[in-house]
Structure 1
């Protein structure tokens, strides 16, 4: 039997956390509410749009799944709903661009961060 690469699946819908106790919207990876310290966190759909707050361009592969995205940009995205999240960005933001707009593209199973793409308008 040959060694085959692991199967990957993509997640088309982007979700964020919502505190079951106080209703605050939270980053996708949140396990505790930053408002009330509650630990009952549900998933809720997000529009998946926002602005880049900070970014850096890296020249090494972040994982075996994303070897085709070198160099890649790691960013903090302020989602339109309020929470911030870490994300990979397809391409580097234009120098001097003030808070470039991005939208969710996909999430690969087993990967820690979603991939966002820059909006052109």
Structure 2
């Protein structure tokens, strides 16, 4: 399956961070507000490897939102990070055919004003 190119751009470059529970040290998704292991609410930001595999994705051809209408089509995915947690992510560019096995991606940057990080295909 060939996915559409995405015109998503940004000027922000940074390191990708996830959350760690201060009570039980479980690693959590970047947007977690409560620990899924112990229900702790004291969470710290820690650096992530920024790499993982796509679990599922969809290509959005038509957006109901006026703010994202200018970037359709775009790909949104669930990425299983090598660190453990899963996160939603924008995917930029064309991905290989899904029959080629796991699709590896790496963090590229945050998109100004958007809740999800941008990931790109990680060549083997």
| TM-align CA RMSD | 2.1
> Shift of residue 93 of structure 1?
2.5
Whether 1:100 aligns to 2:103 is yes
> Shift of residue 99 of structure 1?
2.2
> Shift of residue 47 of structure 1?
1.1
Considering fraction of residues, name the structure with more helix: 2
| Higher RCO (Cα < 8 Å, 6 or more apart) | 2
> Shift of residue 98 of structure 1?
2.1
Whether 1:18 aligns to 2:30 is no
Q: How does 1:37-116 map to 2 (within 5 A)?
A: 37-60=39-62, 64=67, 67=70, 69-95=71-97, 96-116=99-119
TM-score, normalised to structure 1, is 0.82
- Structure 1 portions without partners, runs of 5+: 1-7
TM-score, normalised to structure 2, is 0.81
Instruction: Return the alpha-carbon distance in structure 2 between the equivalents of residues 115 and 93 of structure 1.
Output: 14
Local SS of the residue matching 2:40: coil
Instruction: Return the alpha-carbon distance in structure 2 between the equivalents of residues 106 and 50 of structure 1.
Output: 15
- The answer (yes or no) to whether the contact 2:62–2:69 under 8 Å persists in 1 is no
Instruction: Report the number of matched residues.
Output: 113
